[in-house]
Structure 1
Amino acid sequence: MLLFVVKMMVSASPSLIARSSLEEMLDSLRRRDEGEKPKELPPALPARPTSKARLPSARRSLPNNFKVEDAEGSPECLSSLNKRKERDSGFKAGHFGVKRMDKDQNVESPYDGAPEECQIRPEKIGKSDWDDNIGYFINKKLHVWCRLRSGLWELGKIQSTSGDEAIVSLSDGNVIKVCRVELLPANPDVLEGVDDLMQLSYLNEPSVLYNLQSRYSQDVIYSKAGPVLIAINPFKDVQIYGDDFVTAYRQKLADKPHVYAIADSAYNEMIRDDVNQSIIISGESGAGKTETAKIAMQYLAALGGGSCGIERAILQTSCILEAFGNAKTSRNDNASRFSRVARLEDGERSYHIFYQLCAGAPSMLKEKLKLKRASEYKYLNQSNCLAIDGVDDAEKFRMLMEALDIVRVSKKDQEHVFSMLAAVLWLGNISFQATENENHVEVLADEALTNAAMLMGCSSQDLILALSIHEIHGANASIDKRLTLQQAIDARDAWAKFIYASLFDWLVEQINKSLAVGKCRSGRSISILDIYGFESFQKNSFEQMCINYANERLQQHFNRHLFKLEQEEYELDGIDWTKVDFEDNQECLNLFEKK
């Protein structure tokens, strides 16, 4: 599974510091959507802050009489030099690739006359380009990528061509006939496993995937694509972290792609340019976003002074937020969730904290909360999954208690937190009995009702009324309406969700208060955005729609920032490049955002 990490410069208003990075970003983009004219255009992006390292050019192009020295020392006009290079090579320089010029070819290299590299779809590669190059690939016996009927790509060599068809000998010895549009050029062996995908001569889909696979097979999980770090989840422990690696990247002794390098670059640019930085981590569910965020935080904490004081407290927040905000799904044992209390699918778990509390709470706390085993609560046992392989929930609870102490959540507040968690579990065990009077319900007065009311600090009768009667307020009076069985169940689950959501919000607020001293000492910040990853199941729910909408919004912001602002900067600097078109998902977002 792939995830992408990109570093951006941001400017944050002090009044918005308490808000999450995702809320601030979405609100900012939404305000621009509402204020833009005309409405059909996508929202304008904020202007890139000026970097003190290099001021933007005051002109859009170089003067016509600008002089340069060639290798022999003789001055030439820049435009003449460019034309000479284009004439000699047969190519016009571009940004991500090269654009071939029409001329007679006497090619001596597989890269002369190559198709435009930024195009990855075979149908977008000009037929004339292949007409000019295919003979060279045959004569030099160079590898090409061949797309099979299964959709997979495989290396092979072109044996011959006839019209729009080609005979290709695959690497496994099989010989097949395919359409020429199903062929793409492969990179030479010398480029196999390069650190930066931009170094590839042919930047097409199979070449990119092959390069990543080659590195992954050697436990090299990090690669670059220009300013973007690509990470592939190894699903095992790889020995590329720790104090020795932190020291190497701090002292610039290591320059390989790594999340440490991204964090180090963000820190250095924040100090140098006095501009806030943002590290955006994007990828599908299970790609490793949360772990990557923790690794980045560990490096930044080391830069700030190590494992003591405010730095230690910041690192401990990950333990707390994972316990209360993450859950096991069918694809990811530690997925970031926001709606995982009342309904679970097979193979899933609710939030980690429920299982940790049941497994690790001291006997006195269990007695006070009337706590039972996790298997005895309906909110937890409905999915037939109560444990995660290799995870000790009791030990996780001990670590959580230590983290709460470090971020200075008082013992009294901790007891209140655990009481509300137990109340949610007991709410789920409350049962209803339908009456003969128009399918109305009665709440069964059992231990679940008694314990839930006790933990919530109300009487059993008050809780019965709240779960079985809906009060409708009119202009001059109010009317009590008895609920049906399904309405009562929905009301119970809504209560549980509301209590848990309020508890989570309160906990985040307490953590931010405990870290406020760090905020006062620093005028600049580095924000790390880690959100729930894109999901697509055989059966999707409202949760998947919310998750995927947030990812679509983030992806649009990322793409437009990476491509649009970069290309605007090239224009300001007078750089000649091939414009890169990118797919804009604004129409998809308009389905949800526009009236």
Structure 2
Amino acid sequence: MASEYYYLKQSDCLTIDNVDDAQRFHTLMEALDIVQLCKEDQENTFAMLAAVLWLGNISFQVIDSENHVEVVVDEAVTSAAKLMGCNVQDLMLALSTCKIQAGNDNIAKKLTLRQSIDARDALAKSIYASLFDWLVEKINKLLEVGKRRTGRSISILDIYGFESFPKNSFEQFCINYANERLQQHFNRHLFKLEQEEYTKDGIDWTKVNFEDNQECLNLFEKKPLGLLSLLDEESTFPKATDLTFANKLKQHLNTNPCFKGERDGAFRVRHYAAEVLYDTSGFLEKNRDPLHSNSIQLLSSCSCQLPQLFASNMLNHSRKPVSPSWRSGPSDSQKQSVGIKFKGQLFKLMQRLESTTPHFIRCIMPNSKQLPGMYEKDLVLQQLRCCGVLEVVRISRSGYPTRMTHEQFARRYGFLLENIVSQDPLSISVSILQQFNVLPDMYQAGYTKLFFRTGQIGALEGTRKQRLEGILGVQKCFRGHQARCYFRELKRGTTTLQSFVRGENARKEYLILIKRWKAVILIQKHTKQQIAQKHMKQQIALRKLDDRQRAVISLQSVIRGWLARRHFIEMQNLNKSNIESTRAKIKPDQKILEMKQEHVQVPPSVLAELQRRVLKAEAALGQKEEENAALQQQLHQFETRWSQHEAKMKSMEEMWQKQMTYLQNSLAAAKKSLAADDTAGQPGRLDASPLPHYYDSEDTTSMGTHTPDGNTPVKFSNRTSDAGTGRMSNGGLNAVSHLVKEFEQRKQVFDEDAGFLVEVKSGQLVSSRNPNDELRKLKLRFESWKKEYKVRLRETKVTIQRLGHSEAEKSHKKWWGKRSIRT
């Protein structure tokens, strides 16, 4: 907070209405970034400002009866030393002691409380002043003003006004001296030079008296008995005090009307604005600039870059030799006093002002309470008198503020004359003034210039402006007519040129379009021809494939029928032989039983013959059992083939389902195309792909391979086949053959109907029937036939499966029943 720092709370004004310090700091940071001041230099700048604030918070405590002090070790000392980059003890010694050189020895002298405070403030002021100079120089280098200087500049000088407080010290002394010098420049520019110009040009003029402050300036600047000279001289004596300085002023300056000595070391100076009472307390110490050599050495020993740079600049400044009787250090002997420095800087400023054309702005304080809406007449009148504003108003009223040379006036207003008789600028100027009835007391003609009172040149400027506006109006109309004529000619030529160019471009584009159209027609012709040839080849290939497939199926059916009949005959013969052998075996057994029953004596030869027959029968029985095993193996193979046939039927069923799905999708696409063409209201071309040659649906099942004659191998038992079962098997095969033939016929019918509708829709054929209605009817016929065909296909499949299972069970039962009888 600002209230925590001693240097910031001296004015008791910590905040200002409608001023946001944070926002202004943000604006300052943006400005530093705009001038491209690096972040390191910004941080160093703020560190030095913080160090100055912490230096102001350093306090001292008295340690003896001679008012000697030492620095209080607190946060202010440690923070300031840390920001400056120096040792805390070195900073404490620099603020509480000073080094005095006696011969070749340096003696450390303790400072009093007043001297320590002045040393602290002097160190803070020197750091702040050096930081300000460094920052200005840094910004100027970044902006590179010197490289682009053209010799012309606009400068603004803003200084403190005249100051008069209940207690005025050395600061007010310097500020009021600067205001005296600037007031003289103001008087010289507005009064002296103005009246000198009137006199020099030979016009009738009554001089205006004004108060000249040259005598007050002589009081400050005269050598060797001026205020600054005596102050500088008294500052060189080590035993001089403020009281001795006041007495010396009374002794040498009492005869000056602008000076008046007072009691207790005070004196008065009669400035241009008012008399000011100055207190000489602290004059000598402030004029000496008590920045001792140990303070400069402290800055040199800092680790931060800026304090070292400040110390080197202090040592390199121009120095003024003083009396050798007072030496407090190696660099103090050549120090220049503050008053002499201030005087030199002020003289440089005045030289700069003398080389420019000044414009003055006087700021008037409306009231002494610094409140809005209040106006103190006496205070404002006093300020106007002190600043010489009243004299300025008087000389402006009686003077001639507007002036112009005869050549400039004749050149500017000469064209307003109706008849020009002479070429002399003075004669032309007088003629102009007489023509416009300018009163003689409103102007004066000098040797080289014309001087006008306030407002006279305005009438001439109004007439000149009106005349120029008329001339400009005529010129505008004439130039407009010329421009319009030129524009019409240019427009006609441009239009003609554009018509030829556009005609040529259009003809070229037309030829290109004709060529492209012919090329497109040719490409379409060849493309359609290739598509038609490809489609015809596909139709021929499909027909050949169908013929070959039918031939193969017919051949397969004949071969399979012949194989089945041959196998059937072999099985019948085998069954007959088995029956006869079984009967032959049963007859000897019956004879043996009869003999046993009759209790007939069997001779041994007969018994042997019987035994041989038994062995032979057993051998035949074993052989039959092997044959039965072979037959059982063949039966197993037949069952395997049957399962393979069922797998093939399932695969064919899946294939038919895909084909039927494809047909449905194609019919749907054709329907959409017909609907789109009807909506557009013009005949279109059916772009759908050719209709497939197979019909199927999601629920339609396949019957697998088939034979046209309905003859397929069937399973037989080991003994004999059942006639009823054979008839049922032949009936199932005939049903399958009928279903296949019906499917082929229906497929061909639907293909022909769909092809006919496609040709009608594409415009290849002409028909009175509506293609959309016919397509809808075709779809309904297909759906009804699909449902009916699906039902019959499922019934045929169930019948075939039932026949297969019944034949297998009968064969197993007969075989195992026969074997069980044998055993």
Q: TM-score, normalised by structure 1?
A: 0.36
Q: Which has the larger radius of gyration?
A: 2
Give the alignment's TM-score, normalised by structure 2: 0.26
